[in-house]
Structure 1
């Protein structure tokens, strides 16, 4: 590997994946108004070291600004409507669904609460216009493509690299394809692998997926899988592969194996 590639592997990669959950994203009528109530709903846990932890930190910033906040973790897809309606019935002014899974339920529920605001930290091409619902288009496909490119360039053996995804939804599937495309375009003959595990909260699945790809020749692993991804990082590191972090600086999770992290600003 030449010096340029070594240096690239050692740099911290900072890519703006979207604006934060702070005041700049709030509906105009909620900005800088103390006493307003904001709820955050997540399918993962705030201790995942990435996607959900960052959202929680953004919510904490809003609390410091004077907003009354609440949150709930590990909400299954089946329970999303119940939880959303619970916060809406309790009078929360803004309800945030953190991720793709909230798009369809919010489109169904938001019209029933026209005096409250709803926000989804994802984008759906089929989203219909609802006056009190907003989405943000986070550039996850560009990030996945860049991660695949970087993984291929820092690969030692130039045989294969791999991606571990979380929930089985169109965003994760598209990220899988983008990662593979970036990797295979960057290095001729290199193979891009990808596994969408269908779970954001199962580190054993993440580890198994990473080790399977490593067994097939991958020597760099990237993830977008929250707690499942932590298992991928730990398993890959223990197997001697290199890893790339997601959403937050995850160097501390695999200090000897971490190339860099793609960092998202949710604050």
Structure 2
């Protein structure tokens, strides 16, 4: 946090994420899933596909948050419509509720249980040992077991580009970024945002705050407002539903914001410049197909822009307000990331 008088009280729950952090720069056992979702684990044989598979999804927030959780819910609905799965979901789970939710679904015969977020990692491993016939999938996790696999989205790539956009649009040379609960999968986005901004303007001031909540929009708004009061004229976030509050603060302050996880322009059409979009349905489908095809194996799998799992939303009607040189620089960087010419630094240390 940088010269922020209101934000000290917001660092409420960093310790909650000390375990089960999703990182990057993984060990040699990390595997990469290609765009066609064709890189399968070697283990396993072709499964019978006549059975209707039961798939459950566990969420830390609301399924209609127009962000992180809704992206996963869209993936669940894809499995229902395209693969005929029987589906169920539970939303707004606290860390204390996760194990019980996992165990309940497994005990009720669900073939696949998905935990959407790094915080579901350790509970998945704990419960998986009791239910060996259930496959557990964790997004943004850093865990694996015989029946547990983690699928990590390279969200730092989107964060980097949103940082470039924020810096390119800032006139005060001060921008802000709001995160929820500290965890490596979120820290890497915040750090990516700062790195991207400084690649455009090395001397720009990036103010940061953690709200301690995935769902409290009031805390997100308060954190962003403190930054606005301190001169920030563009606000970014990776704070799930809490980030909606940050967008609302930017809207009321008549400044710009960037979205996260989903195209969030609809939340504030005159405010949200663009969004880092995580194509979680694609990630969930890639993971599910290994179960359907009988090739599931525990491991950690990574997908980013190159694989089509991360992209940047359109500028909508705000496009005319974004200078051509800013758009051109962003387009060039996205192309370099996608081709592999440029690798976004993946820094999971809190700065």
Instruction: Give TM class, smaller chain.
Output: 0.7 to 0.9
| 1:1-267 aligned within 5 A | 33-64=50-81, 65-124=83-142, 127=143, 129-157=144-172, 159-267=173-281
8 Å Cα contact 2:178-2:239 kept in structure 1: yes
Whether contact under 8 Å (1:203, 1:228) holds in the other structure is: yes
TM-score (norm 2): 0.65
Larger RCO (CA under 8 A, 6+ residues apart): 2
Pair 85,153 (structure 1): closer, same or farther in 2 beyond 3 Å: same
| Counterpart secondary structure, 2:176 | strand
- Equivalent pair of 1:19/1:265 in contact (CA under 8 Å): no
5+ residue gaps, structure 1, are 1-17
Q: Which moved more, 1:65-74 or 1:102-111?
A: 102-111
Q: C-alpha distance in 2, partners of 1:30/1:230?
A: 42
Task: Judge which range, 192-201 or 172-181, deviates more.
Answer: 172-181
Cα distance change on mapping 1:130 and 1:181 into 2, 3 Å: same
Number of residue pairs matched?
Answer: 245
Q: Are the equivalent residues in 1 in contact too, given 2:95–2:119 (CA < 8 A)? A: yes
Deviates more, 1:172-181 or 1:251-260: 172-181
Contact 1:168 1:199 in 2 (8 A): no
How far the C-alpha of 1:220 sits from its partner, in A, is 0.7
Q: Are the aligned partners of 2:158 and 2:277 in contact in 1 as well (CA < 8 Å)?
A: no
Corresponding residue SS for 1:231: helix
Separation (CA, whole Å) in 1 of partners of 2:49 and 2:153:
24
Provide closer, same or farther for how the CA distance between residues 115 and 261 of structure 1 changes in structure 2, counting only shifts above 3 A.
same
RMSD: 2.5
